[in-house]
Structure 1
């Protein structure tokens, strides 16, 4: 459950020289400092009509602050003994390789059995952190690497690094259609106008940038490597669909099976049986939030995508194309 919160007020002269997060903590004392800072970072706070996502911006006094956010009802989440594929852990951070089918955070229809519930069991102190230390999310059926903070300091620094685009996240994907070259999709993403759970490219959305390059071309599909500059909900899925190349298996953004002509029965079965978006977070690189060390992790492509790529290669071998 979530309640929409809307406030607008003028910054008092007593806040001259104070940071934005300190200022709104004084102006809106009903909300915790951590919650208010999260709202700044996710774009819910505007100063004189301009969305500001940096908590350290200094105030001069007299500015109009607008707060338009969703207040999630605080819910106690249960620790559950759910196995996590941990690829790295120290006293400050945890990096996991998430499988398909595992939801990151409890929500409508998924009240438990999530990464968050697993974290509460693995690290009992996580309940003291906002969202149990979760810094960014992967969709339920997207696989791959996620970093989780284990301390408030680590979480604060990681969130700021994400906002500053200092964390590198690269993905492997299989898209419908033949893509001749890589490129950039720089299109704003916001909530879909009619589909409540979907996102869309919309002029009123938040800035969103996806880089992609072609790794391999098949008869009617393309294997891609993608890098996020921003991290909007469903960003890669929305951007690839927007340019006419939805991801194979994507049930929301048009990734229905598109078999090439004269495809074998085995290949058709494989294509039709792929029931999730073919998307995997394969590389994560960041500066450690406490000691500043540059760290990079890689996660091998999951078996279902390996099998799909092999099927696409075999289809091309049986039906060679002279040139793309």
Structure 2
């Protein structure tokens, strides 16, 4: 369903020299920049009564801005009593530790039982915030720390901080193969050319940068700590695959289990039984969007990843690195 919205403002003098899209984002902060840009391009914005379809138009201040646009109403999702592990909460934000297996946002085949449904039950007023305040996602089978905005101003500030790379996100992962040291992957990511539900390294894609360092080496696997500069879909999974060190258990980018020679049947069974990507959002650091206070939350790796690491460690102790 759609509804018609009409907005009108006079551009204040202090916005002199700003671009049209920047001015509208400041005048109407409850709407995203992408939505504002789409209105401009669809000739739904008038400046002093004239249609203007150039987002980069510089304004002088004092202009009359009118928006007459259609707004797609979001599907009304229902709150559900789903347990949340909350690390911090105040009137503006909420930080939580998402378990593996929990879908973040409803989509095809997942209209219920998601983090969004849980948030609507836990904090009903969050229904007034677009996407129930979710500003970044973790894949269904990735666990770890997330932050959610409980108000529109908090969401606007957090989205801006994310875009400006002011939010630190660190992950733990276990990958196939033994890396000799840390490094960085700077490779753009876009949709796979033939399998459109997958992502791939693509020179025409969006910039993507991942930093990684070695935490622990095993006979044929490596435990990593990774830090994101950008937040593309499946970024860590695609970047590690590009290094020929895909994540253990990754059903899409990982391939078959790769036990080292001489591994016990118990080891092989444990490796085969790990059926999700071994990836966990371990740390999130940011400035509070309203108070400016520096904040940090950490979550230890969940039991399944801890057991995986212990299995790899025991095998390495038994055989030694030279047998890899």
Question: Could you tell me the TM-score, scaled by structure 1's length?
Answer: 0.82
Deviates more, 1:249-258 or 1:120-129: 249-258
Q: Say which SS state the counterpart of residue 277 (structure 1) adopts.
A: coil
Q: Which residue of 2 aligns with 1:239?
A: 239
Q: Give the 3 Å change call, closer, same or farther, for CA 157–109 of structure 1 in structure 2.
A: same
Q: Aligned equivalents of 2:186 and 2:171: distance in 1?
A: 17
Q: Is the 8 A contact 1:238 1:253 kept in 2?
A: yes
1:286 deviates by 0.3
Comparing 190-199 with 96-105, which one deviates more in the overlay? Answer: 190-199
Query: Which of these residues, 33, 37, 44, is aligned with residue 37 of structure 1?
Result: 33
Structure 1 equivalent of residue 154 of structure 2: 154
Measured after TM superposition, the shift of residue 254 of structure 1 is 2.3
Provide the rounded CA distance (Å) in 1 between the counterparts of 2:36 and 2:174.
Answer: 35
- The answer (yes or no) to whether the contact 2:135–2:149 under 8 Å persists in 1 is yes
Written as runs of structure 1 = structure 2, the 5 A alignment for 1:23-172 is: 34-39=30-35, 59-60=57-58, 74-172=74-172
Distance of 2:32 and 2:73 partners within structure 1: 15
Q: Partner residue of 1:221?
A: 221
Instruction: Give 1:85 shift.
Output: 0.6
- 1:197 Cα deviation from its structure 2 partner: 1.2
> How big is each residue's C-alpha offset from its partner over 1:101-128, in whole Å with a ceiling of 9 and x where there is no partner?
0000000111111000000011111111
Counterparts of 1:200 and 1:44, CA distance in 2: 31
Aligned equivalents of 2:208 and 2:217: distance in 1? 26
| C-alpha displacement of 1:255 | 4.1
**d(CA) in 1 for partners of 2:137 and 2:196?**
19
- CA distance in structure 2 between the partners assigned to 1:72 and 1:248 by the alignment: 40
1:159-196 deviation digits (Å, cap 9, x = unpaired): 00000100000000000011001000000001111112
Query: Which stretches in structure 1 are left out of the alignment for 5+ residues?
Result: 2-14, 26-31, 47-56, 62-70
| TM-score relative to the length of structure 2 | 0.82
Shift of 1:37: 1.5
Deviations 1:68-90 (A, max 9, x none): xxx97721111111111101101
Write the distance in 2 (CA, Å) between the matches of 1:44 and 1:208.
Answer: 28
- The structural deviation recorded for 1:318 is 1.4
Distance (Å, rounded) in 1 between the aligned partners of 2:171 and 2:93: 21
Secondary structure, aligned partner of 1:113: coil
Task: Name the counterpart of 1:52.
Answer: none
Seen in structure 2, the aligned counterparts of structure 1 residues 36 and 154 have a Cα distance that, compared at 3 Å, is: closer
Q: Distance in 1 between matches of 2:138 and 2:167?
A: 15
Q: CA separation in 2, counterparts of 1:89 and 1:38?
A: 29
Q: Name the counterpart of 1:268.
A: 268
Aligned residues: CA RMSD: 2.7
Distance 2:237 2:266 in 1: 27
The DSSP-based 3-state class of the residue aligned with 1:253 is coil
Q: In the TM superposition, what is the alpha-carbon distance from 1:17 to its structure 2 partner?
A: 3.0
Contact map agreement 2:209 2:230 (CA 8 A) in 1: yes
> CA–CA distance in 2 between the matches of 1:39 and 1:22?
12
- Offset of 1:317 from its aligned partner? 1.3
Residue 319 of structure 2 aligns with which residue?
319
- What secondary structure does 1:141 align onto? coil
